Amino acid sequence: MKFHKYHALGNDYLVVNSQDLNSQELNSQGLITELTPENIQKICDRHFGIGSDGILLGTIQPKTNRFSLRIFNPDGSEAEKSGNGLRIFSRYLWDMGLVTNKQFSIETIGGIVKSVVDNSGQMVRVEMEKISFWSNDIPVAGEAREVINQKINLGDKEFNFSAATIGNPHCVIILPEVDSQIAKKYGSQIENHPLFPQRTNVQFMKILDRNNIQIEIWERGAGYTLASGSSSSAAAAVAYKLGLCDTKITVKMPGGLISIRVNEDFNIIMSGAVTQVASGKISQEIFDI
């Protein structure tokens, strides 16, 4: 199975083009037989596989030039949307000569986004669609409500949080200081908390000023990552919703910076860098062990 590895600010993904697969690799539903949760875990393992924060399974309809993307986390679960994943897939399409620097659409489970590749592929801008704070959309357990400034109890610790979805779920916690330790200490407990029936991504956020925030990320199905486009979108949207930031926000993460614009109607525009790493072929052997 051919792959193309990219990273977006240290959040790395393997692009697999469904057209690169031969017939026996596709089952009757046109799904890749190899992409079972168990095999995804093997491919993403940083010692026994290629190593990555996920797999991007892209489908390109040659005649209509329609693009769709499925996003798999390293634990084998499927995500509705990935901001860095969409930027990476957009760059892949550009590298393959399938798009120019004009706007094009990509369909995901979490909705259809519009993408533009700039600066010879080094920068990609994605209109990530509208963010929602409503419990029924995210989802968050309990009565239908906007999930803003609520409490989550972890036994020995209680946090104030807000939640949002941009296709995938996010729990945003504002603190005076954030670091990787707090994300690694509490991330998994919050990811799997009963408040979140479909689990959740988690961001610990420090407000730097009205146009800058800093986040540390614990991703659903992936754990601690150095950057996240959907996390940046959700955290920035919460900061704007709470009146702590203006509409243009730079999100500072361990892997680098993402620019977010929160429009009045809460449509999110995200832009950031993408880096090509390598291409190769995954050996069948890793699936046989």
Ligand X SMILES: N[C@H](CCC[C@H](N)C(=O)O)C(=O)O
CA separation for the pair 48, 279 (Å, rounded): 18
3-state secondary structure of 183: helix
| Site mask for ligand X (CB under 6 A), range 168-187, x = bound | x-------------------
The reply to whether 84 sits near ligand X by the rule CB under 6 A is yes
- Our measurement of the distance from residue 137's CA atom to the centroid of its chain's CA atoms, rounded to an integer in Å, reads 17
Q: Using an 8 Å Cβ cutoff, are 190 and 252 in contact? A: no
Q: Which is nearer to ligand X, 53 or 216 (CB)?
A: 53
- What is the distance of C-alpha 171 from the center of its chain? 14
For ligand X, which is the closer residue by CB, 73 or 281?
73
Give me the least distance between CB of 144 and ligand X, in Å please: 22
DSSP string, 29-68: TS-BTT-SHHHHHHHH-TTTS---S-EEEEEEETTTTEEE
Applying CB under 6 A, does 110 fall inside the site for ligand X? no
Q: Site residues for ligand X, window 197-236 (CB under 6 A)?
A: 201, 219-222, 228-231
Minimum distance from residue 28 beta carbon to ligand X (Å): 27
Q: How far apart, in whole angstroms, are the C-alpha atoms of residue 270 and residue 283?
A: 35
Kindly write out the interface string for residues 131-170 of this chain, putting x where it contacts ligand X by CB under 6 A and - elsewhere.
-------------------------------------x--
Residue numbering of the annotated binding site: 11, 73, 83-84, 168, 201, 219-220, 229-230
Annotated binding site for substrate: 11, 73, 83-84, 168, 201, 219-220, 229-230
